Amino acid sequence: MRRRGPDGAGGGMPLVVGVGASRGVPVSEVLELIAAARAAAGCTDRPLTALATVTARATEPGLLGAARWLGVPLRSFPAAALAAVRVPAPSPAAAAAVGTPSVAEAAALLAAGPGAELLAGKRKSAPHGRPARATCALAGPAVTDSGALTAGREGAATDRSSAADIVLTSPNPPRRGPDRWTAVAGDPAPGSGPTGTKETP
């Protein structure tokens, strides 16, 4: 049996956010989406350990910038590895754009490790006056009543041999203290400059 915290999300257990994005997505849009998804899922108290995405988006400035502000690595997986993960909301548009029917959900599950489970399915960003350019999903390890990690039903892939790349977000360590910006839905964020060419994630 799995143990849940008072908010239904497993208390302070680790959390991974899978992110799909169109090219040119602003840092602010990614951060606001992540903050909104965590709040909606009751996961604000869970320590965030990584962002995860498809290799084709591993150098996207908006994702790298979001990871840097959150103080976590951006991990990437090949499209073939993500395509092998069973997810509840596959997307033909994502398959056509980056070679896998799921980026956010599949990347979250793979990055969270064997036996991971989805805590919140794919959610789209909600920018004002233009189409969404980012999606995210939340995943974490399943736990027993004793607090031990256990295998979940989600995240089983036919090929788990592809290790994730670790994309360094900054040569400097994450900033700490009161000057570190914390993502809150609706807050302005750095890196929200002009966007690039629209592309379906």
Rounded Cα–Cα distance for residues 57 and 73 (Å): 14
Q: Is 140 a member of any domain?
A: yes
Residue 178 has a pLDDT of: 40
Confidence of residue 147 (pLDDT cuts 50, 70, 90): low
Q: Is 11 a member of any domain?
A: no
pLDDT tens digits along 153-192: 344 443 444 555 555 444 444 444 444 343 444 444 554 4
Q: Is 164 a member of any domain?
A: no
DSSP 3-state of 16: strand
Q: Is 181 a member of any domain?
A: no
Q: How many CB atoms lie within 10 A of CB 150?
A: 15
Domain that holds residue 148: 19-156
**Is the pTM above the cut of 0.75?**
no
Q: Is 135 a member of any domain?
A: yes
Q: Are 101 and 83 in contact (CB under 8 A)?
A: yes
pLDDT tens digits along 64-90: 999 999 999 999 999 999 999 999 989
Domain count, the chain: 1
Q: Is 35 a member of any domain?
A: yes
Q: Is 121 a member of any domain?
A: yes
| CATH code of residue 101 | 3.30.420.180
Rounded Cα–Cα distance for residues 40 and 25 (Å): 22
Q: Is 56 a member of any domain?
A: yes
User: What type of residue sits at position 112?
Assistant: A
